[in-house]
Structure 1
Amino acid sequence: MSLAAGETVSDLLLQLKEKALAATDASLKTSSREALNEDFKTLRDQIASVTDNAEFNGVNLLKTGATGFQALANAQGTSTITVAGEVLALGGTNVTVAATQQIATLTDAAAALTAVSASIDLVSGALARLGTKSKALSTHLTFVGKLSDALEAGVGNLVDADLAKESAKLQALQTKQQLGVQALGIANQTPQLILSLFRN
């Protein structure tokens, strides 16, 4: 979620740069400058909206005050993968465009162009860091999935082995019982045979 929102912020900054660059034209009429300024402010406010709403599962890595999160990296809970916050809010360390920045005058446009250009470079670095951590989490998730499959297969093999052993024990017990019944039957017939010899 944070990576997608960060890419949106980057796209918005590129659009802001176009507006600011156009506003540096000294020959612009007042109406044209005002229209560019309104577009600029709308795009600027969209950055605030995107960063405020880039939340997933209670975590927002882009808003002011974002601290990041840690994901468990082993079954014992002793190792973690840390993903740091990359604040992309207006007036922050990565997006230096202020929440009130505008291009209403030639001087404002030049200042905005400088701020937007710096922000584009800083946001690119932030996105690269987010992408690296996203890849690390994805790789770890794949590893955990394979580990889980291997453990399930191992448990299944143990259960199957135990079932085979118990089945063999049950068959042995049944055979012993059958032999015991036959032995009793034979033992009970022996006195009858001896008595029949005396009757004749």
Structure 2
Amino acid sequence: MSSILTNNGAMVALQTLKSINKDLAQTQNAISTGKDIGSAKDNSAIWAISKVMESDVAGFSAVQDSLAVGESTVAVASAGAEQIVETLKEMKQLAIAGQSETADFAKIQADMTEKAEGISAIIGASQFNGVNLLATDVDGNGGTSLTVVSSLDRVGAASPTVSTIGVDTVDFEANIDAVSNLTAITDAASAATAFGELETFLTTAIDGAAALGASAKRISDQSEFVGKLNDAVKSGIGSLVDADMEAASARLQALQTQQQLGVQALSIANQAPQTILSLFR
């Protein structure tokens, strides 16, 4: 039935055009922002998941910073420990040389003293950001270990928890710095005594350097893992909210065509009352 009061065709065409315009606006927004889901109204469930994941990404960035500082701190201590090992090896060679009756004992002892002072200097200088893993007091506050934030763990809907890696001091200050009290080399017998003492110091230093090396490797591996994990989470967020630009471009062209057809359909529908009037002419 035709009516001049109600134009059903125009109403249908108008609703269709509104729907097309809405989809067109969403598609244009997706192309301009690069996101299919940019706010909670687009898809509240996916948006909420993405925001939780984004907060984890921020947390992983903080973890990476902590690991970087920890890695540098341990690397400095490890370098110092390895240098001390080399110095003790040199002192051991001097002690061996001193066991000859024809050795210049005064010269050997002077070299020993210089190297012992060098070890003390290395221990004091092997700090990073105020933390020295070769010292008895690691941080100047009575600390005996370095705590490095290593990961952010989340299980289900529970709040995330922080995991840490602990690196204990090797305490060269107490265990190695005493080399300054090494038996003075004045003859072959005292050189032999000093040799035995140096063997103990060297074993302790090697064990400490090895422990620091193991800690450095663990932190380095964890840093690499967290970096990969961070990238994977970012990729996951992208798959949830990012727009498929190829599909969006094709959809934009299709919607623009539909919009043009919708405008034409509405124009035709609006001409229907004129057709009714022509019946009375």
- Aligning the two structures, in what range does the TM-score lie when normalised by the shorter sequence? 0.7 to 0.9
Give the 3-state SS of the residue equivalent to 2:147 in structure 1: strand
In the alignment, the residues of structure 1 paired with residue 100 and residue 222 of structure 2 have an alpha-carbon distance, to the nearest angstrom, of 51
Q: Is the 8 A contact 2:183 2:193 kept in 1?
A: no
Q: Gaps spanning 5+ residues in structure 2: where?
A: 1-75, 139-143, 153-159
Q: Could you tell me which of 233, 240, 248 is aligned with 1:158?
A: 240
Give the 3-state SS of the residue equivalent to 1:79 in structure 2: strand
Counterpart mapping for 1:73-152 below 5 A: 73-75=150-152, 76-89=160-173, 92-93=174-175, 95=176, 97-101=178-182, 103-106=184-187, 108-152=190-234
Deviation at residue 77 of structure 1 after TM alignment: 4.2
The answer as to 2:110 corresponding to 1:55 is no
State the TM-score, normalized to the length of structure 1. Answer: 0.79
Identity of aligned residues (%): 37
* RMSD across aligned positions (CA): 3.1
Deviation at residue 159 of structure 1 after TM alignment: 1.9
Higher relative contact order (CA 8 A, sep 6+): 2
- 1:16-40 deviation line (CA, Å, top 9, x unaligned): 1111222233343xxx222111111
Given the superposition, is the C-alpha separation of residues 168 and 155 from structure 1 closer, same or farther in structure 2, using an over 3 Å criterion?
Answer: farther
In the alignment, the residues of structure 2 paired with residue 184 and residue 6 of structure 1 have an alpha-carbon distance, to the nearest angstrom, of 83
In the alignment, the residues of structure 2 paired with residue 64 and residue 24 of structure 1 have an alpha-carbon distance, to the nearest angstrom, of 34
- 1:108-166 deviation line (CA, Å, top 9, x unaligned): 43442222111111111112211222221122112111111110110111122598999
Q: Could you tell me which of 116, 123, 136 is aligned with 1:64?
A: 136
What amino acid maps onto 1:70 in structure 2? T
Q: Which residue of 2 aligns with 1:44?
A: 116
Q: Could you tell me which of 4, 12, 16 is aligned with 2:91?
A: 16
How many residues get paired? 193
Q: Is the 8 A contact 1:13 1:119 kept in 2?
A: yes
Q: Provide runs of 4+ in structure 1 moved above 6 Å.
A: 162-177
Given the superposition, is the C-alpha separation of residues 51 and 23 from structure 1 closer, same or farther in structure 2, using an over 3 Å criterion?
Answer: same
In the alignment, the residues of structure 2 paired with residue 162 and residue 68 of structure 1 have an alpha-carbon distance, to the nearest angstrom, of 49
Deviation at residue 170 of structure 1 after TM alignment: 8.2
